[in-house]
Amino acid sequence: MLIAKDDIEVFCEILRKGNKRIVFTNGCFDILHAGHVRYLAQARALGDCLILGLNTDASVRRLKGDQRPINSELDRAEIVGGLRSVDYVVLFGEPTAEDLVSRVRPDVYVKGGDYTPETLPEAKIVYEYGGQVKFIPMVEGRSTTNVIEKIKRQQAF
């Protein structure tokens, strides 16, 4: 289910009143692959509901370059939102998810193992209100960039 960013604070307050443990993660999730699916399932297992902050098309272009995203933000939202592990999706266009993390105030903030608390600006916010930050190891060889490169190599033949 896609939730408007302006509604996310009230929405999360309702979840908290229902004693739900909120897990939050964020990313581009452009071409979904097995690494994404495993990561999101592990994140969801840390709480009662998983909210996924999804980068808008404009923010993906700023982060990844003009050739990205491959899939539109609405398609990406529908795809990740269709996964059993993802309960809610919210779009954001900022360079980091700091504002969104401040609004959601998750019990657990999850990122991939390629991050550390020192390289993750959102971690400071989560620690300040007493939340947890968890890092899930990356699945070796699984990335959107690898998928795109494989497609390019196969087209060259």
Kindly report the CATH number assigned to the domain that includes residue 77.
3.40.50.620
24's enclosing H/E stretch is strand 22-27
Average pLDDT value over all residues in the chain: 94
pTM of the full structure: 0.91
Q: Give percent of the chain with pLDDT exceeding 90.
A: 85
Edge-to-edge order in the sheet of strand 88-92: 88-92, 49-55, 22-27, 108-112, 132-136
Predicted pLDDT at 148: 67
The answer to whether residue 151 scores a pLDDT higher than 90 is no
Q: Between 157 and 123, name the one with better pLDDT.
A: 123
Domain range holding 32? Answer: 5-155
Predicted pLDDT at 157: 67
Mean pLDDT of 38-58: 98
> Which amino acid type is present at position 3?
I
How many domains does the chain fold into?
A: 1
88's enclosing H/E stretch is strand 88-92
Using 50, 70 and 90 to split pLDDT, how confident is the model at 143? low
Measure the CA–CA gap between 106 and 130, rounded to whole angstroms. Answer: 10
User: Which backbone phi and psi does 129 adopt, to 5 degrees?
Assistant: -100, 5
